[in-house]
Amino acid sequence: MLQILINSLINGLAIGVTALAFTLVYRPTGVFYLALGGIYALVPHFALWSISRGVPWGVACVASMALGVIVSCSCEVFSHSRLNHKGSPVINHLIASLGIYTILVQLIVLIWGSNTKVFRSEQDRLFEFLGLILTRSQLIAGLTLAVVLAALGTWIKASKLGLLLRGLAFNPTEMQLIGHPVPLLRLLAFGISGGLVSLVSLLIANDVGFDPFGGMSAILLAVVAVIIGGRDSFIGPVLGGIALSVVRSTASWYSPKWQEAVTFLLLGFFLLFVPKGLFNRSTRMEADS
Amino acid sequence: MSYLFHLAIFFCMYSILALSLNLILRFCGYLSLAHSAYFAIGAYAYALLTLTYGWSFIPVVLAAAALAAVLSLFLSLPAWRLKGDFFVMISLAVQSLTFTTIFNWASPTDPPGSWKNLTNGSYGLPGIPKPDILSVKFDTKDVILLIASLLLLVFFSIYYVLIKSPWGRSLIALRDDDLAARNLGKSPRLFKIQVFRNRMQYGGSRRGALRLVCWVY
């Protein structure tokens, strides 16, 4: 059972960081950023292609993360900011984002094929302590994601840019009125989001492999984590991701084929009965109206 | 020529589906991803009723549409509380749950269509009998195209009448300004339920019609 909990914790951190990447864009811009799924799939494919061309793996990882950031910023520049200028409703952003996701996935399939790929050709190294067995990829993923979460949390809470992003999430119109560069802040949110999801994608790809269609399910899990944890909290999506991962692992312990059903039952339950999530900050009644 | 028939048949079928989706997207402002779930429910209802109970074509199509309409009410209930992206998410949850249930309701030791192996999982339900209405067999593409075109005409006429009626104008008013329409005595809940029910009847009937296409191939 402890082994399941540790595995769930590591998977939950990955879901949590992806959920943060999603909320970083969703809260300030209102964009339901499904194109992140395409970036999630694109980054490891590009990294593997670079490595196969003789690029050192460290450089390949950094280059592929940079590609993720560029693609994410391009989504804002060429799609969402233009829709925003036209005053399009949020549903148009969602459809546009879904379209970008589809284009990215089809491009990946055209260029690199649709088969599942792996970074490692040999078996992963195992570490055993306190009766628990962890692979090297799991350890790297867990530690990296924990450090990134701590750094991101500190940056958002303590830095001026973090403050501006939080302000943008609460009232973008007022931010614009008092002279803050809202378009640049939006671009920054898209860039950070792309970078975060690229990192998670590389770490998970190193652990379990990757394919062109895995991005959407990763993003949907992240969205479920956001809804469970609460949209207005930093730690909520992370804890929501861990809780979701524990529930999914427990469900798969009993019957793996009902894992997805459990996830979407949870989504339905939270949307209908706890729409603000578990870790949302309480606000005064008039603040919600 | 055969391929052109094939394209024309699918044009008619997808046009009906687009009309049904447009009813809710255009007039209520809701994007629903659960459409495919009701599409599947219509198909499985048709297949199971013909395979297991030997029902004929017209009662099966009506039953499939009715079942899809009733089940769609389960989606319309949360529609009262959720809007925008979160409505899309709940519709995605309905779609995923339906897919998982259909995919997993299988047991290799039991015959397809039995209670334990209702959907036969990923293998589907083979051997669905070809339909006939008043002893006329629908087994060639030209007859199927005729039926599909007639169905499209019927559904388009219904759609046109609906949107031009006071009911359709009330829907547009509710979409544009919920509060103002409510002040005029229009009930958003009632109208949403009616739209969902009509939409799913379209989807379910269309699915029954699509089955006709499958028999030809």
pLDDT in tens, B24-33: 777 777 788 8
Which residue among A260, A264, A271 places its CB closest to the CB of B86? Answer: A271
B187 and chain A: CB distance < 8 Å anywhere? Answer: no
User: What mean pLDDT do residues B167-175 have?
Assistant: 74
Cβ-Cβ contacts under 8 Å for A249 (sequence gap 6 or more): A4, A7, A8, A11
Of A221, A223, A239, A219, which Cα lies nearest the Cα of A279?
Answer: A239
Which residue type sits at A107?
Answer: L
With beta carbons less than 8 A apart as the criterion, state whether A193 and A22 touch. yes
Which residue among B88, B93, B101 places its CB closest to the CB of A268? Answer: B93
B29: helix, coil or strand?
coil
CA distance A132 to chain B (A): 33
Which residue among B84, B89, B96 places its CB closest to the CB of A91? Answer: B84
Query: What ipTM does the predicted assembly reach?
Result: 0.70
Q: Does this model's pTM top 0.90?
A: no
- Cβ contacts below 8 Å, chain A against chain B, sum to 59
Residue A133 main-chain phi, psi, to 5 deg: -115, 125
B83 and chain A: CB distance < 8 Å anywhere? Answer: no
Q: DSSP for A22-77, please give it.
A: HHHHHHHH----TTHHHHHHHHHHHHHHHHHTT--HHHHHHHHHHHHHHHHHHHII
Which residue among A94, A267, A275 places its CB closest to the CB of B93? Answer: A267
What are the average pLDDT values for consecutive 10-residue runs of chain A, which has 289 residues? 84 92 89 94 96 93 96 95 88 90 96 89 81 88 93 90 86 84 92 96 92 90 90 84 89 81 86 82 52
* Substitution target from B21, B25, B26, B88 for chain A, most A beta carbons within 10 A: B88
Percent of chain B scored above 70 by pLDDT? 77
- pLDDT value of residue B211: 45
Whether B82 has a pLDDT exceeding 80, the answer reads no
CA distance A89 to chain B (A): 9
Which residue among A32, A227, A272 places its CB closest to the CB of B78? Answer: A272
A223 and chain B: CB distance < 8 Å anywhere? Answer: yes
A267 to B85: CB separation less than 8 angstroms, yes or no: no
Whether B201 has a pLDDT exceeding 60, the answer reads no
Residue B131 main-chain phi, psi, to 5 deg: -80, 155
A265 to B89: CB separation less than 8 angstroms, yes or no: no
CA–CA dist A178, A186 (Å, integer): 16
Element (H, E) at B108: none
The chain A residue lying nearest B106, using CA atoms, is A257
Kindly list the residues from chain A whose CB atom is less than 8 angstroms away from the CB atom of residue B100: 257-258, 260-261, 264
CA distance A248 to chain B (A): 15
- pLDDT value of residue A99: 94
Return the HEC string of chain A. CHHHHHHHHHHHHHHHHHHHHHHHHHHHHCCCCCCHHHHHHHHHHHHHHHHHCCCCHHHHHHHHHHHHHHHHHHHHHHHHHHHHHCCCCHHHHHHHHHHHHHHHHHHHHHHHCCCCECCCCCCCCEEEECCEEEEHHHHHHHHHHHHHHHHHHHHHHHCHHHHHHHHHHHCHHHHHHCCCCHHHHHHHHHHHHHHHHHHHHHHHHHHHCECCCHHHHHHHHHHHHHHHHCCCCCHHHHHHHHHHHHHHHHHHHHCHHHHHHHHHHHHHHHHHHCCCCCCCCCCCHHHHC
Question: Which range has the top average pLDDT, B40-54, B124-138, B160-174, B197-211?
Answer: B40-54
User: What mean pLDDT do residues B8-15 have?
Assistant: 90
B157 and chain A: CB distance < 8 Å anywhere? Answer: no
Kindly list the residues from chain B whose CB atom is less than 8 angstroms away from the CB atom of residue A220: 92
A91 to B96: CB separation less than 8 angstroms, yes or no: no
B89 to A227: CB separation less than 8 angstroms, yes or no: yes
Task: Record the tokens describing residue B181, joined without a space.
Answer: 């329409």
Kindly list the residues from chain A whose CB atom is less than 8 angstroms away from the CB atom of residue B94: 268
A180: helix, coil or strand?
coil
- pLDDT value of residue B84: 74
A90 and chain B: CB distance < 8 Å anywhere? Answer: yes
Return the number of other C-beta atoms located less than 10 Å from residue B57's C-beta. 19
B89 to A223: CB separation less than 8 angstroms, yes or no: yes
CA–CA dist B217, B8 (Å, integer): 14
Q: How confident is the model at residue B194 (pLDDT cuts 50, 70, 90)?
A: low
Whether B215 has a pLDDT exceeding 60, the answer reads no
Task: Record the tokens describing residue A91, joined without a space.
Answer: 């549903």
CA–CA dist A63, A56 (Å, integer): 11
Which residue among B31, B94, B103 places its CB closest to the CB of A94? Answer: B31
CA–CA dist A10, A206 (Å, integer): 14
- pLDDT value of residue A71: 97
- pLDDT value of residue B217: 33
The chain B residue lying nearest A276, using CA atoms, is B86
B90 to A89: CB separation less than 8 angstroms, yes or no: no
With beta carbons less than 8 A apart as the criterion, state whether A208 and A192 touch. no
Whether B206 has a pLDDT exceeding 70, the answer reads no
With beta carbons less than 8 A apart as the criterion, state whether A59 and A67 touch. no
CA–CA dist A222, A23 (Å, integer): 9
Which residue type sits at B4?
Answer: L
Whether B203 has a pLDDT exceeding 70, the answer reads no
pLDDT in tens, B101-158: 888 888 888 888 888 888 888 888 888 887 777 777 777 888 888 888 998 999 899 8
A232 and chain B: CB distance < 8 Å anywhere? Answer: no
CA distance B57 to chain A (A): 33
A258 to B100: CB separation less than 8 angstroms, yes or no: yes
Which residue among A94, A258, A264 places its CB closest to the CB of B93? Answer: A264
CA distance B167 to chain A (A): 24
Cβ-Cβ contacts under 8 Å for A51 (sequence gap 6 or more): A57, A60, A119
Cβ-Cβ contacts under 8 Å for A232 (sequence gap 6 or more): A27, A276, A280, A281
CA–CA dist A35, A54 (Å, integer): 29
CA distance A91 to chain B (A): 6
With beta carbons less than 8 A apart as the criterion, state whether A254 and B65 touch. no
Which is it for the CA torsion B127, B13, B196, B104, positive or negative? positive
